[in-house]
Amino acid sequence: MKYLSEYRDPELVHQFAEELHRITTKPWTIMEICGGQTHSLVKNGILEMLPKEITMVHGPGCPVCVTPIGIIDEAILLSEKPDVILCSFGDMLRVPGTKKSLLEAKAEGADVRILYSPLEAVTLAQQNPDKEVVFFAVGFETTAPANALSVVQAAKMNIHNYSILASHVLVPPAMEAILGDPENKIDAFLAAGHVCSIMGMDEYYPVAEKYQTPIVVTGFEPVDLLQGILMAVHQLEKGIYEVENQYVRAVQREGNQIAQETIHEVFDIADRSWRGIGQIPKSGYELNDVYKQFNARIKFSLGETAIDGTNECISGEIMKGLKKPFQCPHFGKKCNPEHPLGAPMVSSEGACAAYYHYQGIESKELTETV
């Protein structure tokens, strides 16, 4: 398939892997930010191809995983109102709230719809004037432009029965939170290619400089990932820390300015609570005052979002790269995709799901024996 098969070329993958083995002289810990990258690393067996000196740790870039349980409970609460149609991306449905998941609420009769685009939710609102349509707007900078656009469209079309429950998070503040953690072990980052295709690269220069950490904007296919890791190791071995772009076919330094303008038209930067990590200042988006009538929190008077209670899920340690999924005592036992203790086990971008699906519950053993 054009633009995919080239980046899955076994020959090229092996060339990069060999080069990586040749240049690596010291142990390095590299974090890939995005859960999509984590899945690609595990699914394609790339981790096994790396020199033993290189440890990949899996970052917080799984929007589903970092959504606080309190917001999931709010979404469930809204979905159970008789006049509400709650729309969501598919990933969110299996994530456990305090008592149940959206999928269970749906089975009990709540009107929960899986959509691919928030613009479909606006159409749904138009078609159902006697219902309140709420879009569960979860995601990083990648999904923010489409979610923002849905609000702009609804305002233009004078649609009053549409609102969004926003839980938007931002990558650079999370990277800073990880780097500023006293337990931090990260030597370099692979930044999320698709986030940068929207936001560009400018935000990353100060981070690389302040923490003296190389950042390589990287894609998602095997060739992308190996090349990204190679570029990071090159920098580490030379003792430099720059922002580089591996994903040149999709990312320009300034990003997508139309998308950025749309985001800034409807969203303000706000503090956000990250599941398992805690509050990170200025790490998310919330609807601004001009568009507040589209804010489901205000429309339905939801009040303060509950702070996460104690939970046996160690998602915070997983997403900060302090632990691997198989180091969790519950992995594959008490916590599995049918009975998850936390989101990383059920999200298609969750690190625990990646290990469970592609390496199995004895993943450590498998990694060692293969």
Which H or E run includes 78?
A: helix 69-79
Which H or E run includes 204?
A: helix 204-211
- Give yes or no for residue 326 binding other proteins (CB under 8 A): no
The structure tokens 């203790």 sit at: 341
User: 177 - beta bridge partners?
Assistant: none
- Give yes or no for residue 91 binding other proteins (CB under 8 A): yes
Q: Which stretch in 72-80, 238-246, 316-324, 349-357 sits in contact with other proteins by CB under 8 A?
A: 349-357
- Give yes or no for residue 292 binding other proteins (CB under 8 A): no
Our CB check for other proteins shows the closer of 137 and 208 to be 137
Q: Which stretch in 47-55, 160-168, 236-244, 322-330 sits in contact with other proteins by CB under 8 A?
A: 47-55
Q: Restricting to residues 9-28, name those near other proteins by CB under 8 A.
A: 9-10, 13-14
**Within 13 Å, how many C-alpha atoms sit on residue 295's CB side?**
18
Least spacing, CB of residue 76 vs other proteins, in Å: 17
Least spacing, CB of residue 368 vs other proteins, in Å: 12
The structure tokens 């450590």 sit at: 364
Identify whether the C-beta of residue 345 lies closer than 8 Å to the C-beta of residue 315: no
- Give yes or no for residue 349 binding other proteins (CB under 8 A): yes
Residues 254, 305: Cα–Cα separation, whole Å: 35
What single string gives the DSSP state of each residue in 317-355? HHHTTSS-GGGSTTBTTTB-SSS-SSGGGTSTT-HHHHH
Of 20, 31, 33, 49, the one binding other proteins (CB under 8 A) is 49
Q: Count H helices, E strands: the chain?
A: 16, 11
Q: Which stretch in 177-185, 258-266, 299-307, 330-338 sits in contact with other proteins by CB under 8 A?
A: 330-338
Least spacing, CB of residue 344 vs other proteins, in Å: 14
Residues 232, 171: Cα–Cα separation, whole Å: 18
- Give yes or no for residue 256 binding other proteins (CB under 8 A): no
- Give yes or no for residue 138 binding other proteins (CB under 8 A): yes
Interaction site with other proteins (CB under 8 A): 1, 4, 8-10, 13-14, 36, 42-49, 63-64, 89-94, 103, 113-116, 120, 138-140, 142-143, 194, 222, 336-338, 346, 348-349, 356-360, 363, 366, 370
